[in-house]
Amino acid sequence: MKIKLPVLPFPQDSLVPYISENTIQFHYGKHHNAYVENTIKLISGTDLENKTVEEIIMASHNKEDMVSVFNNAAQVWNHSFYWNCIKPDGGGNPHGSIEEKIDDSFGSFENFISQFKSTAMSQFGSGWTWLVLKDDNILDIIKTSNAGTPLTSDVKPLFTIDVWEHAYYLDYQNRRADYLHVFLEHLINWEFINSQI
């Protein structure tokens, strides 16, 4: 099977003090791992058994009898992408191609941060906030609910923040705004974003 839990791209305690080792142990080791195990169980013995996670997502999207497959596979992909979007000693101002694109698309870095935070705060319940590249080479900020993923649309994801409570509740309880602040200020991996453009 091609579905597996990816290796975390940083040590589990390396995001302290912004994200605790305890949060990573649960988020990566329990939640992400459970989505992987559930997907494997659901596709075992089916036509999807040897497909990639992207193929499984596309095959199950909007299929009434495959809601669980889609939800688990999309969460596998979303989380694998999310871990790449952050790094120890990340954050700061953007550089390279993304800096120029942010200025072109949002007017300024400050406007981008403000719009990103406001979109992430307005996601009701569980979901994700994404920076995406549209066909016309302009950046946009979108949100998806639950396991929703931009892979099923015609935009290219460059960056995401997981706003499910399991991403921040152990460290920040209900204070999603504080989690968003440290994420954007100290963890965002601009090199990864540039590599996706």
Q: Cβ closer to Fe ion: 162 or 171?
A: 162
The candidate with the shortest Cα–Cα distance to 72, out of 48, 96, 91, 97, is 48
Minimum distance of Fe ion from residue 47's CB (angstroms): 28
Q: Applying CB under 5 A, which residues contact Fe ion? A: 162, 164, 167
Give the DSSP per-residue string, 19-87.
S-HHHHHHIIIIIIHHHHHHHHHHHTTSTTTT--HHHHHHHHTT-GGGHHHHHHHHHHHHHHHHHHTB-
Q: Cβ closer to Fe ion: 116 or 164?
A: 164
Instruction: Provide φ and ψ at 128, rounded to 5°.
Output: -140, 150
Q: Cβ closer to Fe ion: 57 or 167?
A: 167
Minimum distance of Fe ion from residue 148's CB (angstroms): 13
- The Cα 155–Cα 196 span in angstroms is 12
Residue 151's identity, in one-letter code, is L
Minimum distance of Fe ion from residue 42's CB (angstroms): 19
Q: Cβ closer to Fe ion: 108 or 174?
A: 174
Residue at shortest CB range from Fe ion = 162
Minimum distance of Fe ion from residue 163's CB (angstroms): 9
